[in-house]
Amino acid sequence: MWSMYKDARSAGPIEARQTRLIGVTSSGSTEFLTAFQIGLPRGNGSRALPQEDVGRRFLRRATAICQAQRRPARAVCGDPRDEHHLRPDRQRNCPSKQSGTDLPGRYFTPQLGHTPVESWLEAWRSYWFPRAGTRVLGMTRVLVIGVHLLWFLPAFASLPEQINLLERNQEFIDPQLLIMAITAIVPREVFFTPDVFRALWLATMIAGALALFGFFTRTSLLMLALGTWSLIAHKYSYGDQHHPEALFAIFLLVLVFAPSGQSVSLDAFMRRRGHAISNNAAKEESESNMVMWPLKLAHVLLAMTYFSTGATKLLSGGLQWMNGYTLQSYTFQDAMTRGLPVGIWLSQHYALAVALSVFTILFETFFFVSLLVPRTAPLFFITGVFFHLGLFATGGHPFFPHIVLLMALMFFLDTSWLRYRIPRMVRAPAPVLARKVPAQ
């Protein structure tokens, strides 16, 4: 303000100068409030104001503008509170529509969509495609693929199991859709042989290692996902079908269509060093609006899976499913078959079985609340991890892929913890801390 006053006093008495007063609102946004002339224009025969009058005129107008800014501003066109924004039939009365410019005011925002379709599209984009750091997806890739290579692939689609199924069965009992598509192109006796599956399993492991370190990330992820899908589909084409790996396999394929290798990868390191195979400038961005949609899709798929499981229990058994006897019976059968002492102990406590039955129904049917109320999502994720650990301890149900997805969502869906910084006193070097300790 003082610098603008000095500029006004230094202005010539005849020269007309235009000055814009820039005010900063409480939200920190800058608005151009008004423009006025210092001095009088030529051509009307009147003399220019003296420099002292020019300064007083400047201060008087600046004071009036600042006082006007303290008053509550009316909603203007483009603000969600504006009736012209809410009622398209009255947009013709909006001055900004007639002049083609937005009116100045406290809520100086860009023009938003005025139709319900545009509003829904904007809400859809803001949910699925918010702008976020690519490091989040890079760390998710490392976590998911690391566990997949070290644990899931050898356990759920091991090579000895695949070879055993090929050697003991000449035909498929219930071929999966992917297996049917493969046999429609390549005969069974050509593709489904032990030698081909040894090569397929080895290629899948190599592609997984490349995807883990982020070398040719998109291509290696695609090869890993296709190999995993083929092995799991072949495993469940002989009558025995389960679903622990389904969501995890879908998530692997989804990572192919996201910037998974843009950070925390060898591809990113090579681009920074100038040895990139591609010089695409878009790959150098540290943020993208395509980062979060794989995690959000995994969240939605988990909610659909849990809800369908809980609804199936209620539709098939009704409220009687929570009488305790159902859980006792299933737990005792699984625990005796697999030799689980915790499950045998649980089947002997009726009250605990009733409580766990009610908890199971509530958790599965209301997991979707974590989508509607995001603040409750971490609570549901942690509960889901212990829920599946309990299922494995009592019944031997290996839903470890669900546990990994829940942990990935818990750590990376809400990335506010990544911005946490250790206090300066804690992270200070030891000599600095020693100097700050008072002498005895």
Q: Residues 221, 227, 228, 232: what is their CA dihedral angle, to the nearest 10 degrees?
A: 160
pLDDT tens readout for residues 272-328: 887 555 455 444 568 899 999 999 999 999 999 999 999 999 998 888 999 999 999
Of the candidate ranges 115-124, 163-172, 399-408, 428-437, the one whose mean pLDDT is the lowest: 428-437
| Same-domain status, 188 and 284 | yes
Query: Is residue 14 assigned to a domain?
Result: yes
Number of C-alpha atoms within 13 angstroms, CB side, residue 357? Answer: 25
Mean pLDDT of 156-182: 91
Q: Domain total for the chain?
A: 3
How far is Cα 156 from Cα 162, in angstroms, rounded to an integer? 10
Residues 274 and 407 in one domain: no
Is residue 82 one of the residues assigned to a domain?
Answer: no
What range does the domain containing 216 cover? 132-291
**pLDDT tier, 435 (very low <50, low <70, confident <90, very high otherwise):** very low
CB 290 within 8 A of CB 266: no
Residues 208 and 245 in one domain: yes
In a domain, 108, yes or no: no
- Report the C-alpha gap between 324 and 244 in whole angstroms: 25
How many Å apart are CA 137 and CA 258, to the nearest integer? Answer: 8
Pair 255, 214 in one domain: yes
In the beta sheet, which residues pair with residue 20?
35
Kindly report whether the global pTM for this prediction surpasses the value 0.85: no
Same domain for 152 and 269 = yes
16-21: long-range contacts (C-beta < 8 A, 24 or more apart)? 16/40, 16/41, 16/42, 19/58, 21/62, 21/65
Q: Is residue 89 situated within a structural domain?
A: no
Measured CA to CA in angstroms, residue 99 lies from 77, 79, 92, 94, 103 at distances of 12, 17, 11, 9, 9
Cβ within 8 Å of residue 205, ≥6 positions away = 149, 153
CA distance 80 to 245: 45
Kindly state the average pLDDT of the residues 266-276: 81
Which one-letter DSSP state was computed for residue 75?
Answer: P
Residue 326 lies in a domain: yes
pLDDT at 71 over 60: no
Boundary residue ending a domain (291, 326, 361): 291
Do 357 and 210 share a domain, yes or no? no
Out of 17-26, 208-217, 363-372, pick the least confident.
Answer: 17-26
Residues 256 and 157 in one domain: yes
Residue 88 forms part of a structural domain: no
Cα separation, 73 vs 31, in Å, equals 13
Helix (H, G, I), strand (E, B) or coil at 197: helix
